[in-house]
Amino acid sequence: MLTEQERDEIEQELTHFDHREAGAVEALKVVQQHHGWVSDEHLADVAAVLGISPDDLDGVATFYNLIFRRPVGRHVILICDSVSCWIMGYETMRDHLSGRLGVPLGGTTPDDRFTLLPIVCLGDCDHAPAMMVDGRLYGNLTPGRIDDILAGYA
């Protein structure tokens, strides 16, 4: 169930849109900011606020790859697997991250500290390979740079 604070924040976000359903992604982001992900229950509550069906809202949530529909770790690492990043060493960086964290792509560390996810593009092609941690972009990755970045999230 949405809290009063979450409802207020969603309503505030919806003031920026001519139609309530147009604020679907922003409303889902509010829930995710509070809970780390969007559960089926929260999705249904947000759908009711927006006046759309839960199935329609789930279509939005699953299309937009920055809405998490299952629990994730405290820190979400998105590793870019675009063509530019592939050319510049994506596979090496992916394998290093996966080995360092002990999880495959899509996995979460046993301590729930990190979730490692692929993303189609981070738009940092001139600094490929790139990754994003909790919304912060990192480019020109090397295994050593990745280790230094992860140390900052201890």
pLDDT tens digit sequence for 1-56? 999 999 999 999 999 999 999 999 999 999 999 999 999 999 999 999 999 999 99
| pLDDT of 65 | 87
Rounded to an integer, what distance in angstroms lies between the CA atom of residue 55 and that of residue 43? 9
Closest by CA position to 106, among listed 77, 82, 147, 80: 77
Instruction: Report the SS3 class of residue 138.
Output: strand
pLDDT tens digit sequence for 106-151? 999 999 999 999 999 999 999 999 999 999 999 999 999 999 999 9
Q: Which residue has the tokens 């090397």?
A: 142
Q: Cα torsion at 92, 98, 100, 102 (round to 10°)?
A: -150
Residue 102, pLDDT > 80, answer yes
Count CB neighbours of 64 within 10 A: 12
Element (H, E) at 115: strand 114-119
Do 45 and 52 contact (CB within 8 A), yes or no? Answer: no
Closest by CA position to 90, among listed 115, 109, 116: 116
The topology (CATH level 3) of 4-63 is Arc Repressor Mutant, subunit A (1.10.10)
Residue 154, pLDDT > 80, answer no
User: What does the domain layout of the chain look like in residue ranges?
Assistant: 4-63, 75-151
Count CB neighbours of 1 within 10 A: 8
CATH superfamily of this structure's domain 75-151: Glutaredoxin (3.40.30.10)
pLDDT tens digit sequence for 45-96? 999 999 999 999 999 999 998 999 999 999 999 999 999 999 999 999 999 9
